Structure 1
């Protein structure tokens, strides 16, 4: 299958294991070419990885999954901390690779940066090389609800997790850059639910990959319950829309046509992580409904074909 797009994957693989499902699904999607993967850091004080080397641990987790799948894709560790402020980038090999990829002239494949965590590396890259802003589209799983779009969140003053990872970086991307954004905010990525029974029936039996992924969810549940939180019968594969919105486009006039979005002026982000509407903001997509049938049936089918 000929690739339609390039997709750089940036995710916090040492935390919640939904990102491992997303990476495995993306790797098995022939319509995208993955030049490299970035392992990024979690929010400060995250209980899943309280170390000071979260990005390094994330990169190691991604390498383990790729080795299990027999795929040789470069993996870079991003910064282990967020930006100190919206003016100061943190340069590293992941940022340099992202700049290089965006400025390539030897390919006409459009470039997506698929972000399932914070925006640290993307923000650093555009601060260091503003020309990349017009040469990529950022798809971000993150940010709070927008007024009047989608379902409200039951705790309206609760800061969204992926935004909390690095608010200064998000402010660079939203407020200061001209990067095209496709956003999947909290009200939308919460739709990406599978039952744990589905995972036991349709993922675990699929050999080493299935066991690896199902065990990761069981480990999460055990740690949550040890801390007094029962996660119930479902699990949110909240990063899976990154596959839906890049790999599962229509055959003709390619786009993620089966999922619904609104186009709004990109708002400003305040220093404490809330939107401030601005009528002159550049247009951005805010996805409000996901084609979860296509997204999950494609995932289950690709996992089964890989095992077969």
Structure 2
């Protein structure tokens, strides 16, 4: 087995869309990353997936349940993020998750580069950067979220006014984009929507994959039920939109390691407006924007690791 090449803090809203459970399982099964801890973060208030006032607490519980299936419980701490968004782009919301990001970034006993992999809102990252701005030079943020960039893609039909993950905490987005200097790799909506898998392949490749596969599919089956309750129809596919977090961290190339199988452009960091749109800033720091992700690699690797985990669990005495 290869050893870790990166430290990856996983920050996600695990009580929401279950694509984050697929991402967390995949990350934990990937030996080239070391996960010092996981953060359970909040959704937008009243979100249909979890309308409670305890979203971060629920996220911690859901993530812990998953880790228990793959031996990560106890070995990988799950910390609670804030249950609320920032009230101002310049004021942090302190939480165990935000404080832990600061502490991990300030470690001097490891040479492994640090990535904060964010599949939901930016509350904890923004708060950590406001608590200790110096950590911006000691980590890279990889974020699934934000609307399409003009000239690169157009919004899908019927798109919400503010992209889903940005809407979780717009003030935090403004803080990270407009008021920090942290290196940011962005997977915007047009790109994370490329991560389509079919129901048929999920039924064939994930559902039979032991306790872990069954657990993941129960989470997706719940979404299908919610969609019917809401009068919707998911069709034959599902977007596992958080999976690029694994692709861009664990599945880098062997020689001269980078994200060589996916495509990106580097643009000046735009400013985020209070409407959740971009305002060009020719003097902005570099922003890496992914335009295409290697879905073949990330999903074939997921299916293979689920199958391998099933074999290992079946060989382990109960």
TM-score tier by shorter-chain length is: over 0.9
SS state at 2:69 partner: helix
Shift of 1:97: 0.7
1:38 — aligned with what?
A: 39
Q: Deviations over 1:283-303 (max 9, x none)?
A: 011001011000100000001
Q: Could you tell me the TM-score, scaled by structure 1's length?
A: 0.98
Say yes or no: does 1:229 pair with 2:242: no
Q: Which position in structure 2 is the counterpart of 1:58?
A: 59
- 1:148 alignment partner, one of 143, 151, 169: 151
Instruction: Give the number of aligned pairs.
Output: 308
Q: Determine helix, strand or coil for the equivalent of 2:36.
A: coil
Counterpart check, 1:292 vs 2:304 = no
Shift of 1:150: 3.5
1:127 to 125, 130, 141: 130
Partner residue of 1:26?
27
Does the Cα contact within 8 Å between 1:145 and 1:153 map onto a contact in 2? no
Are positions 1:73 and 2:98 aligned together?
A: no
Quote the residue 1:194 is aligned against.
Answer: 197
Residues 25-80 of structure 1: per-residue CA shift (max 9 Å, x gap): 00000000000000000012101100000001001100000011111210001000
Tell me how far apart the structure 1 counterparts of residues 215 and 52 of structure 2 sit (CA, whole Å): 23
Indicate the larger mover: 43-52 or 19-28.
43-52
Task: Decide whether aligned partners of structure 1 residues 88 and 94 sit closer, same or farther in structure 2, where only a CA change above 3 A counts.
Answer: same
Structure 1 residues 1-308: aligned runs within 5 Å: 1-71=2-72, 72-155=75-158, 158-308=161-311
Give the Å deviation of 1:223.
Answer: 1.1
- Deviations along 1:93-127, one digit per CA (max 9) or x if unpaired, are 11111100001111111100000000000000000
Q: Secondary structure at the match of 1:247?
A: coil
Question: Runs of 5+ in structure 1 lacking a partner?
Answer: none
Cα distance, 1:88 vs structure 2: 1.2
Report if aligned partners of 2:12, 2:20 keep a CA contact under 8 Å in 1.
Answer: yes
For 1:292 and 1:140, the matched residues in 2 are separated by: 17
> Under a length normalisation based on structure 2, what TM-score does the superposition of the two structures give?
0.95
Q: Secondary structure at the match of 1:297?
A: helix
Q: Over aligned residues, Cα RMSD in angstroms?
A: 0.9
CA deviations over 1:212-259 (Å, ceiling 9, x no partner): 001110110011111101111100000000000000011111101110
Shift in Å at residue 170 of structure 1?
0.5
Structure 2 residue runs of 5 or longer lacking an equivalent are: 312-318
Deviation at 1:84, TM superposition (A): 0.6
Is the 8 Å Cα contact of residues 198 and 237 (structure 2) preserved in structure 1? yes
Does the residue aligned with 2:304 lie in a helix, a strand or coil? helix
Tell me how far apart the structure 2 counterparts of residues 100 and 170 of structure 1 sit (CA, whole Å): 22
Residues in 1 aligned to 2:197 and 2:3: alpha-carbon distance in whole angstroms: 30
For residue 156 of structure 1, report the CA deviation from its aligned partner.
Answer: 6.0
CA contact (8 A) 2:147 2:155 kept: no
